[in-house]
A and B are shown apart, each in its own frame.
Chain A
Amino acid sequence: MENRVKTHREGRGWSQGELGRRLGVSRQTINAVETDKYDPSLPLALRMAKLFAVPVDQIFLDHWEPEE
């Protein structure tokens, strides 16, 4: 899933390791999320949103639209 984790992380001047430490996951996990190799769990996505102080849909972009 397309995401803006890297943009938000770099906006705060954090390294992948620093973000991982704040979220309680490894640097490898942050790297995998940023490079679209892994979609995080809902709890981790919510923790990211809380940490970056933005709604989840500003971090994770879903282009799906409901049918009319």
Chain B
Amino acid sequence: MTQVMDASKTRKLVVQLLGGAVVGALVTFFFLKTGGKAADFDDPARLAAVAAGIIYMLMGGIVAIGATAPGAGAKFLNVEDAAEIVEERGKLWPSALVCILVGVMLLALALTPGGDLPGVLSRDEAATVAAAAFAGLVVASLWMRGRIDEFNRSLGTESAALALYLAFLLFGGWGALSHLGYVEWVAPLGVLAGFTLLQLAAMFWVVGRRGLLMPR
């Protein structure tokens, strides 16, 4: 079926894509510039964790801003109008919180000492922050679970299954090659960042395949 978008929907899509790209690039640049003096961002695992952390924090932040100000949120979140945001606030809040906490956990772990650099956080500080974020993540996930309906549950199940297959393919394949001595095994932080990025990619694939990324 051919989908024809009117001008306002096209404009909204362009604003969403460009806005996300610009804000993401600026935040990443700022983060690497300031944190790069103390943390070893030449390490691919840390870099992946920073990238994943920033993406999750931005997504959570954007949803939180939209939920706080529905009028503005309707312009950049994929909803029909501000009223829909008000209807959906119950699940937008925990969803934003989950994303932010995943981001906090990844960034805290990426900012630890490594290489010859002292890190922004000590290992103990990062462990405390990451553990608190993880605990909050579990609570927020349970909070969200009671507020989503069968459609969201179906998208979540489908994307989790796809993420598992992708993780098996990527880390399983990498593990096999590493066992055979063809490649180095991935650093633990790289595995964690990889899982979160695969979950994100799987969710976008599942949502996009159903045409849900198109502005409504």
Contact = CB atoms under 8 A, between A and B. Distances in A.
Contact of B84 (A27, A37, A38): A27
Interface stretch (B135-143, B176-184, B208-216): B208-216
A17 B84 contact: yes
B149 A26 contact: yes
A44 interface: yes
A29 B150 contact: yes
Contacts of B212: 32, 37
A41 B153 CA distance: 11
Contact of A25 (B84, B151, B211): B151
Nearest to A26: B149
A19 B79 CA distance: 17
B150 A17 contact: no
A38 B151 contact: yes
B8 interface: no
Interface of B: 79-80, 83-84, 87-88, 149-152, 154, 210-212, 216
